[in-house]
Amino acid sequence: MLRRFIQTTIVFALVGCASTATYPPTSGRSMVTATTPPLPQVMASSLRYAQQRGNPNAQMIFNLPPDTLSTAWDDVGKRLGDGARPMTATDKNAFTVRQVRVNGGQAEVDIIYPSPEGVYQILTVHLEGYFGGDYRPMFAQRWLIPVKQQAFNVPVGGPFAEVPTESRPTEIDEPASMPAASAAAAAAAAPAAAAAPAAPIGKH
C-alpha cells in the first residue's frame, strides 16, 4: 500500500509540473528543468517543425536555453534523430529554443532561427497534446522582427546539478554574418518590427 501511495504521489506531482510550466523558469512560476516531461518531446518536435516551416534547407543544429542540463540536450538530440546535432562554440547558425510554455493540453515554443533571407527571426510553434502522450505541432507563427544571433549555451552538470531560479537567454552583441546575410535584408525586415505578427504559416 505504501508503494502504491508513493507511486500515485509521484504521478500527481509530474502531472502538476506538466500542467503549467515555463522553461526557462520565470519568477512567480513553479521551478522545472528541461528534463521535466513533456519538455524534451515538446522542444524536439518544435525544433523540427520550425526547421520545416522556417528554413527547410538549413541543417538542424539545435541550441537549448542557458543552464540546461546535459541530459536534456542528449534527450532532445535523440528525439530529433539523424541529421541533427547540438550546437558547438564554433557554429554560427542554429535553431535556438528561447522559451517553452506548457498549459495543460496547449504548448508554445519560441525558436530563433536563421531565415533563408539571411537574418535571424523568431517563430512560435503552437502544439496540442496531453501528459503521457506526445504534443503535436499544429501551426507556427512567424514574428517579422529581426533578432541577434544567439550565443552557444553550454550544457551544464548532471541530473542533480543546481539550476538557477531565473535564466535569461543570451545574445551575441553583434550578430555574425551568415552566408546569405546582407545589410539590405536586415534593413528590409526592420520596418516590420512595429507591425502585428504575421498570420500562421502552417497547419495540419
Q: What pLDDT is recorded for position 28?
A: 59
Kindly tell me the burial class for residue 162, based on how many C-beta atoms sit within 10 Å of its own C-beta (0-12, 13-18, 19 or more). Answer: exposed
Q: What pLDDT is recorded for position 181?
A: 41
| 200, pLDDT greater than 60 | no
| 69, pLDDT greater than 70 | yes
Contact call for residues 55 and 115 (beta carbons, < 8 A):
yes
Q: Which of 97, 104, 100 is nearest to 20 (CA)?
A: 104
| 133, pLDDT greater than 80 | yes
Across the chain, mean pLDDT equals 77
| 45, pLDDT greater than 60 | yes
- The domain locations on the chain are 2-203
Mean pLDDT of 118-126: 95
Q: What pLDDT is recorded for position 55?
A: 96
Q: What pLDDT is recorded for position 97?
A: 98
Q: For 89, phi and psi rounded to 5 degrees?
A: -65, -20
Q: What pLDDT is recorded for position 32?
A: 83
- What 3-state class would DSSP assign to 8? helix
Q: What pLDDT is recorded for position 146?
A: 85
pLDDT in tens, 138-186: 999 999 888 998 999 999 985 444 444 444 444 443 333 344 444 444 4
Predicted TM-score of the model (pTM): 0.71
Q: What pLDDT is recorded for position 110?
A: 98
Mean pLDDT of 12-35: 69
